Amino acid sequence: MRIDIQDPSRPGRPPVRVEIAHDPAGQPPVEPRGASKIPGDDLATHLDWDRAFDSSGYLRCCPVCGCGEFFVRKDFPQGLGLAVVVAAAGVALVLFGSGRVAWGFGVLAAVAGVDAAIYALVPRCLVCYRCRSEFRDIPIPAGQGGWDLATGEKYRTPPQPIDRV
């Protein structure tokens, strides 16, 4: 199992990545309990494995923050997808402008096919609503849904007031 721990006290910094061996029989991962020092970072966190997994081997509550609500998302870098779409649109526009309309539609169709293949092949990850920690390489229940706006608003941090003089 791989966990990317997002620390809200460090905005703009990349998440801390933790690799933990997971027992395939559904038992909690082997990890010393208590405050554990994350390698390569000055962040010390307590990963609570006592209540983390249910009897079926699914993640029941976040070992980082204790939240029991998760959503599923595709594990694909959105910036890369946007760059591919913008590049394909640029190439298609150049082809349309030069009178090669069939080639332009071919480029757009090819990118749509690549996008569908990527969507089908990219694995999913589980994300905690409260702390935004991401859990990869773990079993995800079949009924686990994607992002829900109402649940996301429940865990949204309120904006900080601006001091005006």
- pLDDT for 12-58, tens place per residue? 677 777 777 665 454 444 443 334 445 544 455 667 777 788 878 88
Averages of pLDDT over runs of 10 residues in the chain (165 residues) are 74 74 52 44 62 82 86 87 91 95 94 89 90 87 88 78 63
pLDDT of residue 141: 86
pLDDT of residue 36: 45
- DSSP per-residue letters across 26-75: SPPP---SSEEEPTTSS-EEE---TTTB-TTS-B-S-TTT----EEEEE-
Return the amino acid letter for 156. R
Residue 49 CA to residue 122 CA, distance in Å, equals: 28
Is this model's pTM higher than 0.85 or not? no
Q: 109, 102 in Cβ contact below 8 A?
A: no
pLDDT of residue 33: 37
Residue 100 CA to residue 97 CA, distance in Å, equals: 7
Q: How do the domains of the chain map onto residue ranges?
A: 1-75+125-156, 78-120
Residue 119 CA to residue 31 CA, distance in Å, equals: 33
Beta bridge partners of 46: 35
Residue 51 CA to residue 70 CA, distance in Å, equals: 15
Q: Is 89 exposed, middle or buried, given 0-12, 13-18 or 19+ CB atoms closer than 10 A?
A: middle
pLDDT of residue 52: 80
